[in-house]
Amino acid sequence: MAAEQKPILIVGGGFGGLAAALALGQRGIPVQVFEGAPEFGAIGYGIQFGPNIFHVFDRLGISDEVKSVGDEPSALLMLDALNGDQVIRIPTGESFRERFNQQYLIVHRIDLHTVLLDACKKIDAIKLEPEAMMTTYQDHGDHVSIELEDGRSFTGSVLIGADGIGSTTRAQMIGDGDPLPNGYVAHRTIVPMETVTADVPRDVVVLWGGPGFHIVHYPLRHGTLFNIVAVFRSDNQAARGDVEAYRAELHETHKATQPEAKALIDMMDLERRFVVGDRDPIRHWHQGRVGLLGDAAHPTLQSLAQGAGMAIEDGLHLANLIHANGDDYETTFTQFAKDRYLRTARVTLESRYIWDFYHCDGIEREVRYQMYKDQNEADRFQCVSWLYDGFGFIDR
């Protein structure tokens, strides 16, 4: 079979992999997506997106479906967890929509994933392979092949590694070891809204920042659910452990926080903790006929809430370039990284600065308050315009 007749292989059916598959499939380019989990799906927590994401969803024709499963908060609020003072407020209502031409979005990950998956299922050119964990790949010069854990193998014209922060594709291509843990862990919880006991605003995204910890919360599914993420510095990075010991550790971390923050902590499910980390940005994400996108290429801390946004932007842009350049994959992958590395590196690096900003203490904390107290709405919008104004997609 000639190389151009073979499908494009995508390893990883997360947001980035599915966005790429949908954008390719809509152009009639055959694509096969391999997902290691038994079913295509997402972990069951909330996720936030800036207005930049709608530049992609509009082009994929799924904005209405996405809006119908998500919600628009009225503001993004940062509070000082030690005294309850407001540090920053970015309104995300009418003036925000006018400035950025699109809305801010909070959505259940499963609901967004379902929208992408359903759109993919309607396209004959897209084949979805669940329970398909890739262990290794080979670049044969004019085509690629992959091996799965269960012994099956597949061939394609190129391979796109969209397999997340612990990417197997990246490990084989670049071999730069594990992601860099930053010393923090996260616990995530979703509860029915009517069970929320903490006296906190329910229609906004709130971040309580304190020395060495933060809590984020916001509503989901049209106000019926409440999503909480508690993040803090910890020497205990085990994914699972003694829940009572985890609780004691969180209470110690929050001993000086406001009663509302303590009430949120009491609602946390502590069964599972996630190690927080990223990687230093790099300029090149491909070798021969194999390329990376999303977290596999440029994982970031979650402080800007843009990791999935960048993965989805990547998916569309890479598909556009493949469509434009045909079988010239060297040009496609080279151009892709050239176009995307600075924007994604800025997300990674600004996320690190913001991480420190969330967690500062002492005089630094006082300076933080002073720096932002006099900012007006236009100043706030200006700070995020490089991100929320979106990426310059080629429409060809």
Return residues touching ligand FAD (CB under 6 A): 11-17, 34-37, 47-49, 132-134, 162-164, 168, 186, 229, 274, 294-296, 302, 305-309, 311
Amino acid identity for residue 158 in this structure: V
d(CA 228, CA 205): 10
CB of 166 to ligand FAD, least distance (A): 7
CB of 356 to ligand FAD, least distance (A): 17
Q: Which of 284, 281, 296 is nearest to 337 (CA)?
A: 284
Nearer to ligand FAD among residue 14 and residue 51 (C-beta): 14
Nearer to ligand FAD among residue 47 and residue 77 (C-beta): 47
What are the angstrom distances between the C-alpha of 365 and each of 81, 128, 205, 212, 359?
11, 49, 21, 12, 8
CB of 306 to ligand FAD, least distance (A): 5
CB of 368 to ligand FAD, least distance (A): 22
CB of 330 to ligand FAD, least distance (A): 23
Nearer to ligand FAD among residue 47 and residue 365 (C-beta): 47
d(CA 375, CA 364): 18
Nearer to ligand FAD among residue 99 and residue 298 (C-beta): 298
The answer to whether the beta carbons of residues 110 and 44 sit under 8 Å apart is yes
Nearer to ligand FAD among residue 18 and residue 79 (C-beta): 18
In order, the DSSP letters of 298-323 are ----GGGS-HHHHHHHHHHHHHHHHH
The answer to whether the beta carbons of residues 53 and 309 sit under 8 Å apart is yes
Q: What angle do CA 8, 11, 17 make, to 5 degrees?
A: 80
Nearer to ligand FAD among residue 41 and residue 369 (C-beta): 41
Q: Which of 14, 7, 10 is nearest to 310 (CA)?
A: 14
CB of 270 to ligand FAD, least distance (A): 15
The answer to whether the beta carbons of residues 345 and 338 sit under 8 Å apart is no
